[in-house]
Every structure is written in C-alpha cells, then in structure tokens.
Chain A
C-alpha cells in the first residue's frame, strides 16, 4: 500500500472512530447515568426501609425526605403521582470531596438522592444517579472517593440485592 493511501486511510479511520464513539456514547448515556429498578416492596415500605437503612449506616444520615407530588401541586403543577425524594449525606465523604477547591463544584450534585415513585401501572420504582460511572468520568481523587461511597451505598441498598453496582 502506498504511503499517501495509508495516511488517508488512517485519518479516515480515526475520524470514523471519533464519530462512532460519539454516536455510541450518546445512545448509551441516558441509561448509563441514571439507574432505575423495581422495588420488592410497596411505596411506603420502600421509603421506610431506605430511611431505616440510611439511619443504621454509621457514616450516613438522612437529610430530608421530600414529598415531590405535594411540592409540585403546591406550586401550581399538575399531580405527578406518588414520589418521594430521599436526600442523604455522609459528613466524612462530603468533607473528603469538598475540602479541595477544585472539587467544591461537585457540591452541585449533593447531597445524594434516591427517588422512590409509583408509575402509571402501579409499580414501585427506585432511581438514582449512577454515581460510580460518574465518578469514573471524573477519575482521580473523585473516582477514589466515589468508589468508597459506592461500597457503602451498595450496603444501604442491599435489600434490593444487586443494586447500582459496577461491572
């Protein structure tokens, strides 16, 4: 193969690779960044179990549980069905994450949240951001802290078996 042909093929292959990566990541992103799963319990019990498990975890505490349907309807929105947003935090990990200036911006994603809701078919679902994947996207110290956080979140969500874990 002549040298110019090889160069043209390499450049074309490189550009095709960038295009393929961009398209495939864009297709995957919505499922990759938010995890949703069915709860084994009804709405009330799911919220209660998560609250209890957060309270029982040594490094974690419950910040607030929002009744999102009430919030929405109280401020002029149409009802969205039963939905609770459970906000929880760890003083230790939040401090690790936010003490450095270059990581303070991550406060925009804190405290951690778990959404519990009933869909139109009456199924109870749980959703949360796929923190582990997001942590890997940041990499470095953020990735390390998120790795530790995800171990403990797995314990909290252990009642749902294989939840929100990495592979």
Chain B
C-alpha cells in the first residue's frame, strides 16, 4: 500500500490532468478538487444546532437560535451533495481514487453522519422530516461501515495511515441509536451502539500506539485529535437514549469524554500554530458532542455541575465554530478551498 501522502499527491496530480480536466484555475475544473471533508462543516453546524436546541429546551430563549443553523446546515448539505454529485458524474475516477484512498476513505461517512445529525436536529423541530433522514443516514452508514471494515481486512495498511479520522466511520454507528431508538426500537439501536463501542476501543488502541510510537501526525491531521472526544461523548448520549438510565457505564463514557476534552485543551499550543486547513472543522463536531452530552446529563440528573459545564462548553463551541467559519470564508474568498493538495 503506498504512503498516504504520496497517494494523495498522485491522486491530485491525476485529477489535474485527467479526462475532462484542463486549467486548474478554471472555475469548472476547481470542483474536481472539491474535498469530501467539506461535509465536516455540515456536521459541525448541525451539531451546534442540536446543542442550541438542547440549551433552548432546558434554559429557554428563542427557538430561532437553533432553527437558523439547522436550516443553514441543511441547505449547505444540499449544496455539497449537488456539487459532489456533479464531481462524481464528471470525474468518477477522481471520486473513486478518494474512495479507495487509505486516509480519505474515512471521510466518506461524514455524508451519512451529516444525515444522521440532521435527523437528530429535525427530530425536535420537524419530526416527520427526521424519519426519512434517519433511514437514509442509517442505511448509508451501515453500508459504509461494512465496506470500510471489509476493505481494512482485505488490504494492507501501514501504521502511519492510522489517525483519529479512522474513528469517523465508528462514530456514525454510535450516532444511529440517538433517534433510531424511537424509530426502530431498542434492538436495532443496540446493535449499532455495541458495534460502534467495540471498535472504538480497538481502534483507540491502534491509533494511540501510532501516535505514541511512530512519527507525529502531519499538521493537517493534528485537528483530528479532537475526534477522540466524539466516541465517548456520543456514546454517552446513545447509552442514555437506549437504557434511559444514568448509571456507572453512562458516567464512565461521559467522563472519558471530559478527559479527552481537557487533554486537547491542555494541548492548545499544538493547535494554535497550525495553518488553516478544512480539517479544522474536525474541531467542531466533537465539541458539539461533548456539549450535547453535558446538556443531556443535566437534563437527566438536574445536577447544577452539568449546567455550568454545559454553558461553558457551549460558549467555547460557539467561539470555535465562529473562528473556523471566518477562516473558512477567508479561504473561500482566496479561492484556496478546492485546490490540489499540497
């Protein structure tokens, strides 16, 4: 299996000179380089909408605060599906190269996860819309999970390919029960929950081994360290939804989530020095997830501690998403988003 960076570069090079190609400065050619990672923006914004909805439900205020980002992220999802669909139709070999790329393939479940997060968001607003979104997202997520796992088994990977983005397909399975438990019942929800949780533990050991004993993550992947927060935080919410109980397992998941949150904040210096990449959006969904988990903990226990933590985390999440949004808009204005990878 070739080195990830080399493959990424050669894939980009191929895409620049492939059929239907032409001058990369040309606007039409630009979307040939539209990255699948852009769906992480939908995840971040719709996750924020859910956090704001929970805050509205628990503390009051205006429902517009959560409806606006929810509707905006739905529109963005539609726009991205349209443009990525066009890219797929016009440059199928580029999409195929990304889909079988040892690193980029793990970002394809951001599409199914976006659908699932939108279904959670709409469950508290337009429940009838949440149901088809959930079925689409869960079906796609299940398909991608089986594909990626079978791909891992059938192909050899190098240890440097392992990075926290490998958790993305796993997190998707843990998200499924949040609305799924009300749509298809406990048994199906439990299936996805245990699959997600089981492979989270296994992959965590692999990724931790790679981080500790091998070369440092490339700068572009440093923000993905935030993804370590997501599986336990989402796991806590799912567990709560399935068991309707705050017990020792629920608290263990929540506190592991808190541990990684504190850890990444203590490592803030590693993040400040980074040049902006679209991968900065990897900061956002995990922060949404731990904020929603804290709000859910408050909702379930009414412990003031969780109210304070929730408000603190919600503030941080809003600030971080604000910063990343501004940086993304700057990059869009500079035309630096849909370009071949350096």
**Which has the most chain A C-beta neighbours within 10 Å: B124, B179, B241?**
B124
A-B contact count (CB 8 A): 83
Q: Known interface pairs A28-B182, A37-B244. Does A162 touch B296 (Cβ–Cβ under 8 Å)?
A: yes
Sample of 5 more A-B contacts, CB < 8 Å, known A24-B134, A136-B124, A166-B124: A21-B128, A133-B127, A137-B128, A155-B302, A167-B241
A136 touches B126 (CB 8 A): yes
A162 touches B245 (CB 8 A): yes
Tally of contact residues, B, Cβ under 8 A: 34
Determine if B123 is an interface residue (Cβ-Cβ < 8 Å): yes
Tally of contact residues, A, Cβ under 8 A: 31
Of the candidates A32, A161, A167, which one forms a contact with B120 in the assembled complex, judged by CB atoms under 8 Å apart?
Answer: A167
Shortest Cβ distance from A40 into B: residue: B245
Between-chain CB contacts (< 8 Å), 16 pairs? A17-B132, A20-B135, A21-B132, A24-B134, A25-B131, A27-B184, A31-B184, A130-B182, A133-B123, A161-B300, A161-B301, A162-B240, A162-B246, A165-B57, A165-B299, A167-B120
Residues in B neighbouring A24, C-beta threshold 8 A = 131-132, 134-135
Residues in A neighbouring B124, C-beta threshold 8 A = 132, 136, 166-167
Determine if A160 is an interface residue (Cβ-Cβ < 8 Å): yes
A25 touches B132 (CB 8 A): yes
Shortest Cβ distance from B123 into A: residue: A167
B-side binding surface: helix, strand, loop or mixed?
helix
Report Cα–Cα, A25/B133, bound state, in Å: 10
Residues in B neighbouring A53, C-beta threshold 8 A = none
Residues in B neighbouring A150, C-beta threshold 8 A = 57
Q: What is the 8 Å Cβ interface bit string for chain B, positions 179-194, against chain A (1 contact, 0 not)? A: 1001111000000000
Determine if A151 is an interface residue (Cβ-Cβ < 8 Å): yes
- Which A residues are within 8 Å of any B CB, using their own CB? 17, 20-21, 24-25, 27-28, 31-32, 35, 37-38, 130, 132-133, 136-137, 144, 147, 150-151, 154-155, 158, 160-163, 165-167
Report Cα–Cα, A35/B50, bound state, in Å: 21
Shortest Cβ distance from B122 into A: residue: A136
B127 touches A137 (CB 8 A): yes
Shortest Cβ distance from A165 into B: residue: B299
Determine if B178 is an interface residue (Cβ-Cβ < 8 Å): yes
B128 touches A25 (CB 8 A): yes
Report Cα–Cα, A33/B50, bound state, in Å: 21
B127 touches A161 (CB 8 A): no
Residues in A neighbouring B128, C-beta threshold 8 A = 21, 25, 137
Residues in A neighbouring B126, C-beta threshold 8 A = 136
Shortest Cβ distance from B126 into A: residue: A136
Report Cα–Cα, A20/B134, bound state, in Å: 12
**Within residues 22 to 63 of chain B, which ones have a CB less than 8 A from any CB in chain A?**
50, 53, 57-58, 63
Residues in B neighbouring A20, C-beta threshold 8 A = 132, 135-136
Report Cα–Cα, A27/B241, bound state, in Å: 20
Determine if B221 is an interface residue (Cβ-Cβ < 8 Å): no
Determine if B125 is an interface residue (Cβ-Cβ < 8 Å): yes
A160 touches B244 (CB 8 A): yes
Residues in B neighbouring A37, C-beta threshold 8 A = 244
A25 shortest CB reach to chain B, Å: 5
Residues in B neighbouring A27, C-beta threshold 8 A = 131, 183-184
Report Cα–Cα, A133/B124, bound state, in Å: 7
Residues in A neighbouring B178, C-beta threshold 8 A = 167
Report Cα–Cα, A133/B178, bound state, in Å: 15
Report Cα–Cα, A27/B179, bound state, in Å: 14
Shortest Cβ distance from A35 into B: residue: B182
Report Cα–Cα, A132/B237, bound state, in Å: 19
Residues in A neighbouring B244, C-beta threshold 8 A = 37-38, 160-163
Residues in B neighbouring A136, C-beta threshold 8 A = 124-127
